[in-house]
Structure 1
Amino acid sequence: MAALPAAGRHQEGSHRRGPAQDRRDVRDERTRRQRASAGDRPAARPQSRRGHTSTPDLRVIEQGSPRNHGAASDFAGKRVAYQGEPGAYSDEAVSAVFPGAEAVGFPTFRLTFDALSMGAVDSAVLPVENSSAGVVQEVSDLLWELPGLRVVREHVQPVRHCLLGWPGPVDRALSHPQALAQCDRYLHSRQIRSVAFHDTAGAARAVAEQRQPGTAAIASKAAAARYGLYVLAESIQDDSENRTRFVVVEKGDPARPRQATSGHREADSKWKGSIAFVTAHRPGSLAHALDCFAQRSVNLTRLDSRPILGRPFEYRFYLDFSINGEASAREAAEAALSALEEASAEIKLFGTYPAF
């Protein structure tokens, strides 16, 4: 059996350092600026979700071992923020997008954004939607709220959830609420109670450190390797095609559709634009806004809404559109964006960027 890591310590490679000091630096800066926000509060303790309790005896598939982070560095010296702990899916996304970069984890999305805004990191890799559980709304809200940031690319990553723990019966599973939602059928069928945790990898670490009988975590195989846990079950997500879409966020001005060719071959490039907007509060205003794209044959790939605080029953809309990279498509998307800017009461372009 692989040895457990000491409590509170991560098994890190040479190019990954623990995020504790970075979190302290960001919090100190936030205190000096006297910026009160929800991100200053410590993560809430795990809260139980409704479910049935039972004790199914799960067969061990394998036990993890520490993974090697010593691969050649393509982005040496680059610091990239993510929300979570080492071994989280966002940590894996950082490795996929920026191999060899220094990945720096933060406990909340707001602290992750603050680290980027303050220049403590060069980029941030953030989840925006999951193919089965839907939109990660807090990330979209922070993109709207915070100035001076832009989306520069996207990354789509398959998500294969595993049940991690110790051999024997399991009656409750800790994980991030999104991960629990993505495994709802599996948990319900085995009468395993869901317990919300701030992060998938953090849940795995807690299970490794606490060794509570009957308690498991839902996280990745990488988390099992990092924290020395057994993989009790693999691919337990409800959707076998489960995927999460991440965006890379950096400081700077967002690119417009007409700029969707820089550094890429036009004909072979797929691009995407992301916008948030508020319409005038009158009948037909949303239909008029969407018609800006329909009239120019610009395809929409996402549309969702969010209530506006302090303005009951008024909504902010989040929209993604696609561009195939050809000159005519860029011109059509640019014209659609300009028309929407004229039609909207408020609008913010997050960026135009290479798509998956």
Structure 2
Amino acid sequence: MALKADTIILGCGVLSSSHDLGTIPCFGGLKFRKDLKKLGKWECCCSVSGQRAITPVEDEKPLKPGPTAAEPQSSGVVQRTEHTGFHRDLNSLPKPLSATDLALSRNGGSKVRVAYQGIPGSYSEDAALKAYPNCETVPCDGFEAAFKAVELWLVDRAVIPIENSVAGSIHRNYDLLLRHRLHIVGEVQLDVNHCLMGLPGIRKEDLKRVLSHPQALDQCEKTLSDLGLIRISAADAAGAAQVVASERERDTGAVASARAAAIYGLNILEERIQDDDDNVTRFMILAREPIIPGTDKPYKTSIVFSLEEGPGVLFKALAAFALRNINLTKIESRPQRKRPLRIVDDSNKGSPKYFDYLFYIDFQASMAAPEAQFALGHLQEFASFLRVLGSYPMDCQQQPN
């Protein structure tokens, strides 16, 4: 069965997929060349072979910055630390970049700069340091600011949380993935290690209240209830630790990462106080340009698409992967916000309507693999819009290119 010619949006370019199931194509018609005039970056040169227009979606155009979501809580396992005073002057810590004030010069040094949402000591900074152990971390006051910092060449990468095994998906970042022309070049998974901390010399029995992000408080409900602590929500966990260190209230503690305790001079009173030990947050690594996928190691590919109207169309779309033994690791649906409802028929007797969705899918295959290209070509038979967000190694620590 021949697949019809069409196009797949691959970040900044277009992927041609005019082929049949019996032919091994080139990398989707995509050619790369080294352009020495553009700082040695890979430039993608594409050709369009289809005639059907791709239906645009509202998130393809950048929107004005809106309210930012609070970061989810996650951390790697860290050793227990004891401190007798402030680790450093709090005023010396880097100030977060804002989405509206990014007029900074790019670092000309060789050390990779990685943006994250939050302040020093946040779980996102832990993820950035796991991905790039020798990097310079750059705090941002919101997810939008971290995306823009990469786009404006202020940093080289951004590490953004996308889902937590307890709290679920961070929908804000799915929306931002579509609005911004960045590429997923890796992923980082961190075990949560929520720590109860307080001022030096304080025991956990001395505490009356505790500050942290609402998700962290919810994930530690049993421990905090057993201690009889009043829970107070804060913008983020690291910020809660900073408040406790600054205000010096001896009956107030915080729930944050072990690294936050070290930075703000707090003592860890108890580690791993979360109710669910199997609590992991997955982060995406974003860059301005995609990496060239290979087949030498396990790869994951992330895409987003919308579907034409019709019975069983989602089943048919997913069958494009099942028929080629491609494992799907994530399926997320998000209503199209500017065109949320679709009319089923044209009658004037109260036509039924339903949400018009965008579908985000992660699957275990490299875009360099023929079966992945055939699957996306097959998917185009039912998709009105399709974009590849990135094809990247699974669960590996990224190093600077």
Give the structure-2-normalised TM-score.
0.66
Equivalent residue number for residue 296 of structure 1: 324
Equivalent residue number for residue 107 of structure 1: 141
Structure 1 residue 341, shift from structure 2 partner: 3.2
Structure 1 residue 219, shift from structure 2 partner: 0.8
* 1:83-104 deviation line (CA, Å, top 9, x unaligned): 1111111111221211221110
Matches within 5 A, 1:116-265: 116-147=150-181, 149-166=182-199, 167=202, 168-252=205-289, 254=290, 260-261=293-294
Structure label with greater radius of gyration:
2
Structure 1 residue 118, shift from structure 2 partner: 1.1
Moved more, 335-344 or 136-145: 335-344
Q: Counterpart of 1:332 in structure 2: which amino acid?
A: E
Q: Call closer, same or farther: CA 1:171–1:319 in 2, change over 3 Å.
A: farther
Structure 1 residue 281, shift from structure 2 partner: 4.0
Task: Decide which of 84, 91, 98 is 1:2's aligned counterpart.
Answer: 84
Structure 1 residue 199, shift from structure 2 partner: 1.9
Structure 1 residue 179, shift from structure 2 partner: 2.4
Partners of 1:133 and 1:181 within 8 A in 2:
no
* 1:289-342 deviation line (CA, Å, top 9, x unaligned): 11111111110111122232231423222211112x698xx2212211222233
Partners of 1:76 and 1:101 within 8 A in 2:
no
Structure 1 residue 194, shift from structure 2 partner: 3.4
Q: Distance in 1 between matches of 2:121 and 2:359?
A: 33
Matched residue SS, 1:345: strand
Q: Counterpart of 1:136 in structure 2: which amino acid?
A: I
Matched residue SS, 2:381: helix
Please say if 1:322 is aligned against 2:387. Answer: no
Q: Counterpart of 2:332 in structure 1: which amino acid?
A: D
Partners of 1:183 and 1:238 within 8 A in 2:
yes
Higher helix fraction: Structure 1 or Structure 2? 1
Q: Counterpart of 2:326 in structure 1: which amino acid?
A: V
Q: Distance in 1 between matches of 2:232 and 2:389?
A: 34
Please say if 1:27 is aligned against 2:27. Answer: no
Q: Call closer, same or farther: CA 1:283–1:214 in 2, change over 3 Å.
A: farther
Q: Call closer, same or farther: CA 1:88–1:294 in 2, change over 3 Å.
A: same
Task: Decide which of 302, 307, 330 is 1:279's aligned counterpart.
Answer: 307
Matches within 5 A, 1:53-68: none
Equivalent residue number for residue 333 of structure 2: 305
Number of aligned positions between the proteins: 290
Q: Distance in 2 between matches of 1:208 and 1:29?
A: 29
Q: Call closer, same or farther: CA 1:279–1:191 in 2, change over 3 Å.
A: farther
* 1:150-175 deviation line (CA, Å, top 9, x unaligned): 00111112221101123243343322
Structure 1 residue 2, shift from structure 2 partner: 2.0
Q: Distance in 2 between matches of 1:298 and 1:315?
A: 23
Q: Call closer, same or farther: CA 1:294–1:76 in 2, change over 3 Å.
A: same
Partners of 2:213 and 2:233 within 8 A in 1:
yes
Structure 1 residue 126, shift from structure 2 partner: 1.2
Partners of 1:7 and 1:209 within 8 A in 2:
no
Q: Distance in 1 between matches of 2:183 and 2:147?
A: 11
Q: Distance in 2 between matches of 1:297 and 1:210?
A: 57
Q: Call closer, same or farther: CA 1:334–1:178 in 2, change over 3 Å.
A: farther
Q: Call closer, same or farther: CA 1:196–1:337 in 2, change over 3 Å.
A: farther
Coordinate RMSD, CA, aligned: 2.5
Partners of 1:150 and 1:251 within 8 A in 2:
yes
Q: Counterpart of 1:353 in structure 2: which amino acid?
A: Y
Partners of 2:114 and 2:128 within 8 A in 1:
yes
Equivalent residue number for residue 341 of structure 1: 380
What stretches of structure 1 of length at least 5 have no aligned partner?
A: 12-17, 31-74
* 1:195-231 deviation line (CA, Å, top 9, x unaligned): 3322221111011111235322111111111101121
Q: Counterpart of 2:388 in structure 1: which amino acid?
A: L
Q: Distance in 2 between matches of 1:260 and 1:279?
A: 26
What stretches of structure 2 of length at least 5 have no aligned partner?
A: 1-82, 104-108, 342-354, 396-401
Give the fraction of aligned pairs with identical amino acids, expressed as a percent.
39
Matched residue SS, 2:305: strand
Q: Call closer, same or farther: CA 1:196–1:349 in 2, change over 3 Å.
A: farther
Matched residue SS, 2:115: strand
Q: Call closer, same or farther: CA 1:306–1:326 in 2, change over 3 Å.
A: closer
* 1:227-279 deviation line (CA, Å, top 9, x unaligned): 01121211011221222111110002x46xxx531xxx72xx11111112222
Q: Counterpart of 1:342 in structure 2: which amino acid?
A: E
Partners of 2:212 and 2:255 within 8 A in 1:
yes
Matched residue SS, 2:364: strand
Q: Distance in 2 between matches of 1:332 and 1:351?
A: 16
Equivalent residue number for residue 350 of structure 1: 389
Give the structure-1-normalised TM-score.
0.74
